[in-house]
Structure 1
Amino acid sequence: MRDAHHGLAAHEVVLLLGTDAERGLESAEAARRLGRFGPNVLPAATGGGLLWRVLGQFHHPLIYVLLAAGAITASMGEYVDSAVIFAVVSVNALVGFVQESKAEAALESLRSMVRTTARVIRDGYEQAVPSENLAPGDLVVVEAGDKVPADVRLMQVVDLRVDESALTGESAPVAKDEVVLHANTPVADRRNMIHSGTLVTAGRGVGVAVATGAETELGEIHRLVGAAQALATPLTAKLAAFSKALTVVILALAALTFAIGLMRGQGAAQTFTAAVALAVGAIPEGLPAAVTITLAIGVGRMARRRAVIRRLPAVETLGSTTVICSDKTGTLTENQMTVQTVCTPEAAFTVTGSGYAPAGTVQDHEGRAVTAETSRALSWCLLAGAGCNDAALTERNGRWEVVGDPTEGAMLVVAGKGGLTTDEMGERYPRVGTIPFSSERQYMATLHSDRDSGDHMVLVKGAVERVVDLCCAQMSADGSAVALDRAAVLDAAEDLAARGLRVLATAVLLSADPDRFAERDLHGSLVLTELQAMLDPPRPAAAGAVTACHTAGITVKMITGDHAATARAVAGRLGLLPGPVEGGRGDLLTGADLTALPAHAYPEAVGRARVFARVSPEQKLRLVEALQDRGQVVAMTGDGVNDAPALRRADIGIAMGRGGTEVAKDASDMVLTDDDFTTIEAAVEEGRGVFDNLTKFIVWTLPTNMGEGLVILMAVLLGTTLPVLPTQILWINMTTAVALGLMLAFEPKEAGIMQRPPRDPARPLLTGALVSRILLVSVLLVAGSWWLFAWERDTGAELAEARTAAVNLFVAVELLYLFSCRSLTRAVWRIGLLSNRWIIGGVLTQAAGQLALTYVPAMNRLFHTAPITGQAWLRVLGIAVLAALVVAAEKHLRHQAM
């Protein structure tokens, strides 16, 4: 139903929908249809209730491990430690729930786009009704400034132009008509249709509502948004795999410990305590908190660089991004049409400045600024473009905007740059008549009176071929009329169009007869004044940002609803297509090309192409999915409704904060508050830094957990007393994670972070080199703690004293190893001791905690510790320094071998 009506004549659509082309629907019939088809709103999202959304936050292997640790700790009577573990789990669940709740606002924002007032013809007269009460078959009336309330097949059109950029990506308003189109015409080219959610910029139209609610093109996008599921980020995916493996290892070691103890004839209670101690020691209790806090710090850093994160895990996703699929209009470009070249029949002028801001000049071929006062030919050129014009320019909050057609707005701006203002033109040359633009006419003409002389003149602008047909002469440099060189004018227009510029021609008729102002009177009577070539220009810093992304190993692909020539021109300026596009290279593909591709060739073609033009929302979504199927981590930028499904499906969706629709923002993971593509480069840098710091924390914390587990396992195997108790293990894990490990979240980004390629998505969280280092430190911890525990016992120390020495050794090794983990490749002394002042504070805090654990009586009773001698402290520090030297040597040798 949704795709058929543009291929039918208007009277056939009227008959098909059972309506009246003059009177519209009767009120009773409209009410009946409303009951049958439902209100003209998008369906509400369906999903689990509040309870299921809350429970979903606990669905993660690492959370299962922590919950089990909390339950086991509680069963041992250690309620304080158990409460700490459950508190960590609860905080993580709360953060996830809040972030998810914000993201679910996307569908509600999309539904709100169609809640407006519609003008319809019912019972033979025009009336206003709430848009949700619109029914298929209603006669809909739209005028400039209206939001289209439904998908409408046009029947009557008067100079109707519609901004469809939010739906199709087309940057310029589309002229509409009533002609019958081929049934396979894509949405972006359906001139006889207007679609729900788009905006009328000029003219008037009347048509039949052929689809409402979920059956509209907007409704199809709503369905795609709901169907596109957000993916796990590279970090969460790797942590999930890591957590599953860790769960298996912990359970296996705990079971092995329990079995060995029973086989050695040890009591079940004693053996169970050892198994619990092993499990508690092997669980990295601080990891979830470290992940959350590190990501939150990344959120703060990105916010200061104008990137607002809506979902915490998205912070690090950009650090792993391999492809950025960027919408063109409003993202890489200004979304403001700008005249760049003005060609009179005898000269060409370059226009500086971009967008609707009046800053800039008109320059001749030598770079000298010229104005309407210094060039008579240029004066008539600019006057024709600005006078035959229905747009207006306004300034809001320091930002210039156009009211009306952006193309006409661009002509007003260039006139201002040439020294003409709309107020001056309106006062001296008031308009007294208009022949409006239409798709058949392809030009607009206005009649003006000259208040100084009393004469009249006609100003015309429109398609080059059509305006040339109306001309009998062209204007020379001094303003006089000379013979028209039609071939030269058309060649110049074709050359400009080949560069992706939109070209319009202007003409004048001086000393016009006001009584002979009709289409038939204009043919063969005009004097051609100029060609104006315009383009939605790239953002000033966009090309540099694209280059920076390429340097960082990230491929940038531009996706747009614009025509191929325009896309090619913008891509060339941005450096996406470094040279002319040759046939068969496949650097640029259109939506039609994508449709024609066989399934087996699609992924390779998508991977090779850099620019995609005239693509539909479904194709954007499929492009993202195809790249993900090739193992890419995809970031998708966009600002329109048509971008929402792809934004939601991408690994990270990036919306524009200023020019973006609410739908795009709510479907995204990140919003750029300045709409600047360069902010993505900053976000990539921050994301890489976040991933680095999380990796550093994991590399730092795992040796302790592994060492603690192995110490317990060895004690069971040897049938000896446990060197550390479960409560002491919890003290080590929780205090060091907070005071030491979390300080790595504040670690500055390392030099050269944007000169290295992105992380391979298939690369494991921990490389072989890092696993080797973790094992090395674990062995050092096990050997050192066993030797120290045995030494203390052999020299007459009490059991509590020996265990206290072992606990302090674990912490001392972790403390010195922390400095090594500040960089996974560089030596400690090359980093700078004070470049992360948080670590100094953390070390002092941990040292104070260890002294309290050792010497405060209340802590001694709670954790079964005891004061130790100065000689014991020397042995603790000596072993810790030796371990740090071994790690430094390993890092140095590995770096030399690379």
Structure 2
Amino acid sequence: MGSAASDAAAGSHSLSAQDVVRSLHTDLQRGLTELEAGHRLERYGQNVLPRAESAGPVIRLLRQLNHPLIYVLLVAGAGALVFGEGVDASVIFGVVLVNMLVGFVQESKAEAALDKLQAMVRTAARVLRDGRERTVPSDNVVPGDVVLVDAGDKVPADLRLIRPTNLRVDESALTGESVPVLKEAAELPTATPVADRRNMLYSGTLVATGAGLGIAVATGADTELGNIHRLVASAEELATPLTRKLAWFSKVLTAVILALAAVTFAIGVARGQGVGEMFTAAVALAVGAIPEGLPAAVTITLAIGVGRMARRRAVIRRLPAVETLGSTTVIGSDKTGTLTENQMTVRAVWTPDGRFDATGSGYGADGEILDNSGQAGDAHIGALHWCLLAGAACNDAALVHRDGRPGVVGDPTEGALLVVARKAGLDLERDVAVALPRLAALPFSSERQYMATLHAVPGQDRRVLLAKGAVERLLTLCTKEMSADGSLRPVDRDAVLAAAENLARAGLRVLAMAMKRVCATEQFDGSSMSTPLVFTGLQAMFDPPRRDAAAAVRACHGAGVAVKMITGDHAATATAIAGDLGLLDDGGDVLTGSDLAELPAGELPGVVDRAAVFARVSPEQKLRLVEAFQASGHVVAMTGDGVNDAPALRRADIGVAMGRSGTDVAKDAADMVLTDDDFATIEAAVEEGRGVFDNLTKFIAWTLPTNMAEGFVILVAIVLGAALPILPTQILWINMTTAVALGLMLAFEPKEADSMQRPPRDPRKPLLTRPLVLRILLVSVLLVGGSWWLYSWELANGATLAEARTAAVNLFVAVELVYLFNCRSLTRPMWSIGVFSNRWILGGVAVQAAGQLAITYLPVFNGLFHTAPITADVWLRILGLALLAWLIVAADKRLRKRLI
């Protein structure tokens, strides 16, 4: 952007209208010329957000090879191919190919969020060009254009407002403000934050009511929306706890495998064996030690978690996000539309003779008006009647149904006044539109601070004047107040102001209502009212919490997950909602964006840990909060629905967007989308996520002993100079068949009963705890010792080499089978879980048993895998050793129950 335009955009809210016009060299009456607009379009570029360059499909596919275990598999496959082991090489390369395709399909496209941001500003715009009003694509709006907006329009660029007319703008997607903002043209202090710049209209926001004229001061990437675009683009997309732990685990495992393979190769060569033979042995060791089934197990376990979450109304966009919520320690939740309904609701009606409470929430008609004794208030007489009638008749909104859901066209505040009148039994058509047809209106303005309407009374020569507005302002127009029976008395200003203050302190937005019967000659000149009014009451409203939100917050707290409200709304409103939800039960602090701005970076993590509510925060500060939580070691889930939430959603360990009310930008920046917009669904997602992580840990704890034992069996054979007890092809058979038929069945394991009664998993805790590592080593020793003993026993008792190896292969599988039942729970005994609670395991056992019989007795398998039939007494020894291994592991589980 050029210097003049840049200066105007940077501080246009603090400049007078004349200064903005001069700095942008434009004309309020004629706008720009078409020629000048064309020059500026070339100079500043189109009013669109820049696209991010993305890697092509080939690069994204090749990126999937960037993994330590994949490197080892590739080397092993190449070695097997060089030394003529075609079957082994084919299997190895097949595993690599499958992993590449899975990773390619699941890689998230970060540019999707930026594309949606770009689409948000593409609309039509009305501008003045050469003194005439023209409609142009918003892409062609340039700095200096004079832009006109009306109700329902999307603002095409950042505008300095010059002439507003009852203009209210819905900025919730940008700032988090829960109600449309009244706009005015007066200049503001330079330090005014974005959310409070009443003389600015921002690109991508929606005009709720009224009209206005403004000058475009920023377009494209220079708008506030463009600033968020840069934040989304620059926000680092973190690995999830699962991927971080698996990456570390893979590196360690790779180092161990390479070290063992190198030792095997060196020992064999030192003993005088051939280099080719030893390379083949090293490859066999590497292939045996690598858990080939791990990538598939991770993918399938996560995919099953995705299905379970979808049934609970949570859609996962990135598979690793399934388990991330299970490790989450902090949930940073937006208020408007996430913890609340995003539907203004009148909660209380105060009249000079008493208070009435309104039940129900949102724009639905369910609910009623109750007095202090719990009886329904009579809305057809006295002050209550005229208070409700003023709210419903002095009103420009309309109630509608969209997609089967109640909604409002116009100001949500006015929609709430219509709903409460209907709850009280007033018919909006009969009692308002027909009984009091409108004759004239004074629209709300910042100068008047009230709205007034004049109504005819059919069959009478008198008229009715109704008004609503700010309490202090409307009170100055009232000399009388109405009682419950309709009689009038002098207004008690102190009582009214005290009631309004009490309602506001509870986080409610308060409006005053007034009326006056006037004669037909009463002046109503469209600018002011000269007649004194009768005060009828106050209506207090708020955006109510979601029905199940408080219970969900309690459940999260019970599971050790902290919930933080992070909103752009005012502190008083946020505090009131937080109190209703129980967020402040433990005495958490309430901080504002100004408080955060004054905090040094080094103090931020400690301060935000103690706070429960963050109000009036900017998009940059939301992002900063996420980073501060992560700096304290937290796994952060960030929920939100607006454009302003997108950077934080992407930076968080898991971003959670709202499916119904959420913007496309938020959805594309998120890892998970809640289809019902219900915060309570997050509780279900946490539970499912913990179950997924548990099942992955169980699979790893189950598969590693076999891989380690296979590697050590080969190492021992090389050290002893003996024939291999199991061959490479037999290792591949064991690894691939047991992973599919046995290990993957753990992915279907039901969630453990105590998953939501334990604290979140410590993010610093390794994937495998020390007790689990010891158990893995224990089972590995049992496999190595058992297989060597059985192999040696069979040879010593006259068995052929093929028969001895077949016995060793079947022992490996038998021990894996019984150990699988031990792994169904890492802490509880098998019988406490229920043998039939996971029928998939029983089916897997049957399939694996059939496979072992086939490799043992079918001639074709004997030829492929160098096996031979064995007798019944060998099976008894195999089953006896497997039973012994099961008993030892069960005893170890009992001893270490409290440590895992």
Q: Secondary structure at the match of 2:65?
A: coil
Match of 2:879 in 1: 877
Q: Is the 8 A contact 1:286 1:733 kept in 2?
A: yes
Which residue of 723, 726, 737 corresponds with 1:724? 726
Match of 1:191 in 2: 198
Distance 1:159 1:896, change over 3 A: closer
Say whether residues 1:386 and 2:415 are aligned partners: no
Say whether residues 1:692 and 2:694 are aligned partners: yes
Q: Is the 8 A contact 2:343 2:544 kept in 1?
A: yes
Q: Secondary structure at the match of 1:504?
A: strand
Say whether residues 1:438 and 2:445 are aligned partners: yes
Which digits, 9 at most, give the CA deviation of each residue in 1:543-599, with x for residues without a partner?
0000000000000000111111000000000000127x7xxxx71000000001122
Match of 2:634 in 1: 632
Greater mean deviation of Cα atoms: 87-96 or 606-615: 87-96
Match of 1:320 in 2: 327
Map 1:633-648 → 2, pairs under 5 A: 633-648=635-650
Match of 2:466 in 1: 459
Say whether residues 1:408 and 2:419 are aligned partners: no
Map 1:165-564 → 2, pairs under 5 A: 165-373=172-380, 375-424=381-430, 425-518=432-525, 522-523=529-530, 525-564=532-571
Match of 1:151 in 2: 158
Offset of 1:64 from its aligned partner? 2.3
Match of 2:576 in 1: 569
Offset of 1:491 from its aligned partner? 1.1
Match of 2:659 in 1: 657
Residue type at the aligned position of 1:611: V
Q: Is the 8 A contact 1:103 1:310 kept in 2?
A: no
Distance 1:440 1:310, change over 3 A: same
Q: Secondary structure at the match of 2:10?
A: coil
Distance 2:367 2:94 in 1: 60
Greater mean deviation of Cα atoms: 512-521 or 2-11: 512-521
Residue type at the aligned position of 1:123: D
Greater mean deviation of Cα atoms: 692-701 or 267-276: 267-276
Q: Is the 8 A contact 2:13 2:190 kept in 1?
A: yes
Which residue of 35, 43, 65 corresponds with 2:42? 35
Match of 2:167 in 1: 160
Q: Is the 8 A contact 2:54 2:111 kept in 1?
A: no
Residue type at the aligned position of 2:421: A
Residue type at the aligned position of 1:661: T
Residue type at the aligned position of 1:398: G
Distance 1:512 1:34 in 2: 58
Structure 1: where are the runs of 5+ without partners?
Answer: none
Distance 1:639 1:261 in 2: 62
Distance 1:55 1:520, change over 3 A: closer
Distance 1:442 1:210 in 2: 29
- Percent sequence identity over matched residues? 69
Map 1:559-598 → 2, pairs under 5 A: 559-578=566-585, 587-598=589-600
Match of 1:669 in 2: 671
Q: Is the 8 A contact 1:88 1:288 kept in 2?
A: no
Distance 2:631 2:400 in 1: 46
Q: Is the 8 A contact 1:458 1:512 kept in 2?
A: no
Offset of 1:422 from its aligned partner? 2.2
Q: Is the 8 A contact 1:471 1:523 kept in 2?
A: no
Offset of 1:229 from its aligned partner? 2.0
Match of 1:889 in 2: 891
Offset of 1:102 from its aligned partner? 5.0
Map 1:588-627 → 2, pairs under 5 A: 588-627=590-629
Q: Is the 8 A contact 2:461 2:520 kept in 1?
A: no
Which residue of 84, 89, 111 corresponds with 2:91? 84
Map 1:801-812 → 2, pairs under 5 A: 801-812=803-814
Say whether residues 1:865 and 2:872 are aligned partners: no
Match of 1:117 in 2: 124
Residue type at the aligned position of 1:435: L
Residue type at the aligned position of 2:862: N
Distance 2:441 2:300 in 1: 64
Q: Is the 8 A contact 2:771 2:899 kept in 1?
A: no
Structure 2: where are the runs of 5+ without partners?
Answer: 1-5
Q: Secondary structure at the match of 2:276?
A: helix
Which digits, 9 at most, give the CA deviation of each residue in 1:865-887, with x for residues without a partner?
11111111111111111111111
Offset of 1:518 from its aligned partner? 3.5
Distance 1:225 1:851 in 2: 57
Match of 1:740 in 2: 742
Q: Is the 8 A contact 1:469 1:524 kept in 2?
A: no
Count residues with an aligned counterpart: 892
Say whether residues 1:14 and 2:21 are aligned partners: yes
Distance 1:13 1:669 in 2: 42
Q: Is the 8 A contact 1:152 1:210 kept in 2?
A: yes
Offset of 1:407 from its aligned partner? 0.2
Greater mean deviation of Cα atoms: 641-650 or 392-401: 392-401
Match of 2:3 in 1: none
Which residue of 714, 717, 721 corresponds with 1:715? 717
Map 1:843-854 → 2, pairs under 5 A: 843-854=845-856
Distance 2:223 2:668 in 1: 21
Residue type at the aligned position of 1:713: L
Offset of 1:478 from its aligned partner? 1.2
Q: Is the 8 A contact 1:456 1:514 kept in 2?
A: no
Which digits, 9 at most, give the CA deviation of each residue in 1:153-208, with x for residues without a partner?
00001100000000000001100000110001000000000100000001111010
Distance 2:565 2:87 in 1: 55
Q: Secondary structure at the match of 1:57?
A: helix
Residue type at the aligned position of 2:222: E
Which digits, 9 at most, give the CA deviation of each residue in 1:758-809, with x for residues without a partner?
0000000000000000000000000000000001111111111110100000
Distance 1:859 1:774 in 2: 31
Q: Is the 8 A contact 2:658 2:667 kept in 1?
A: yes
Offset of 1:95 from its aligned partner? 3.0
Residue type at the aligned position of 1:162: V
Which digits, 9 at most, give the CA deviation of each residue in 1:239-295, with x for residues without a partner?
000100111111111110111111112222322222121111101010000000000
Residue type at the aligned position of 1:93: M
Residue type at the aligned position of 2:472: E
Which digits, 9 at most, give the CA deviation of each residue in 1:653-680, with x for residues without a partner?
0000001011100100000000000100
Distance 1:747 1:108 in 2: 39
Offset of 1:70 from its aligned partner? 3.1
Offset of 1:696 from its aligned partner? 0.3
Q: Secondary structure at the match of 1:748?
A: coil
Offset of 1:432 from its aligned partner? 1.0
TM-score, with length taken from structure 1:
0.98
Q: Is the 8 A contact 2:73 2:287 kept in 1?
A: no
Q: Secondary structure at the match of 2:453?
A: strand
Offset of 1:48 from its aligned partner? 2.4
Q: Is the 8 A contact 2:51 2:111 kept in 1?
A: no
Distance 1:822 1:708 in 2: 23
Offset of 1:472 from its aligned partner? 1.2
